[in-house]
Structure 1
Amino acid sequence: MANDRMETAARIDNRHPGAQKSGQGTVPWAIKGELILNCNCTVFCPCVVSLGKHPPTEGYCQAWAGVRIDEGHFGDADLSGLNVGLILEIPGLMARGNWKAAAYIDERADDDAYNGLIDIFSGKAKGTTGLFKVLVSEFLGAERAPVLFETEGKTRRLIVGKQIHGEVVPVGGANSEEDIVVTNTEYWMGADITVATATKGRVRAFGRVWDFDGRSAEICQIDWNGPR
Structure 2
Amino acid sequence: MALDELGTVPWTVKGELILNCNCTVFCPCVISLGKHPPTEGHCQTWGGVRIDQGAYGDIDLSGLNIGLMIEIPGMMSRGNWKVGLFIDDRSTDAQYDALVAIFSGAAKGTTGLFQILVGEILGHERQPVTYETEGKTRHITVGRKIQGVVAPVAGKDPETDLVVTNTQYWMGPDVTVATASKGKLRAYGRVWDFDGRSAEICQIDWHGPR
TM range (shorter): over 0.9
Residue identity matched to 2:123 = G
- Choose from 2, 9, 23 the match for 1:27: 9
Pick aligned residue for 1:149 from 131, 142, 152: 131
Q: Distance in 2 between matches of 1:45 and 1:115?
A: 31
Distance in 1 separating the partners of 2:191 and 2:93: 30
- Kindly indicate whether residue 117 of structure 2 is the aligned counterpart of residue 129 of structure 1: no
Q: 1:55 & 1:107 partners in 2: Cα distance?
A: 35
- Cα distance, 1:22 vs structure 2: 1.9
Instruction: Give 1:89 shift.
Output: 0.1
Task: Give, in whole Å, the separation in 1 of the partners of 2:3 and 2:87.
Answer: 19
Q: Distance in 2 between matches of 1:77 and 1:108?
A: 14
Instruction: Describe the SS at the equivalent of 2:7.
Output: coil
Quote how far apart the aligned CAs of 1:157 are. 1.0
SS in 2 for 1:30: strand
Matches within 5 A, 1:75-224: 75-224=57-206
Q: What is the one-letter code of the residue matched to 1:123?
A: G
Report the alpha carbon displacement of residue 149 of structure 1 after superposing the two structures with TM: 0.3
Question: What code does the residue aligned with 1:210 have?
Answer: W
CA distance in 2, matches of 1:44, 1:139: 26
CA distance in 1, matches of 2:149, 2:70: 17
Tell me how large the CA RMSD over aligned residues is.
0.7
Offset of 1:21 from its aligned partner?
1.6
AA at the equivalent of 2:137: T
* Distance in structure 1 (CA, Å) of the matches to 2:28 and 2:106: 27
Q: Post-superposition, which runs of at least 4 consecutive aligned residues in structure 1 deviate over 6 A?
A: none
Structure 1: distance between partners of 2:173 and 2:132? 23
Question: Residue 60 of structure 1 aligns with which residue?
Answer: 42
Alignment deviations for residues 155-176 of structure 1 (CA, whole Å, 9 cap, x no partner)? 0011001100011000001100
Note the C-alpha offset of 1:124: 0.2
CA distance in 2: counterparts of 1:67 and 1:22, whole angstroms? 27
CA distance in 2 between partners of 1:143 and 1:22 (Å): 23
Deviations along 1:50-109, one digit per CA (max 9) or x if unpaired, are 000000000000000000000000111100000000000000010000000010000111
Q: Distance in 2 between the 1:55 and 1:133 partners? A: 21
3-state SS, counterpart of residue 201 of structure 1: strand
Q: Secondary structure in 2 aligned to 1:119?
A: helix
Q: How many residues align?
A: 209
Cα distance in 2 for partners of 1:176, 1:79 equals: 34
Q: Report the TM-score when normalising by structure 2.
A: 0.99
CA deviation after TM superposition for structure 1 residue 219, in Å: 0.2
TM-score of the aligned structures, taking structure 1 as reference length: 0.91
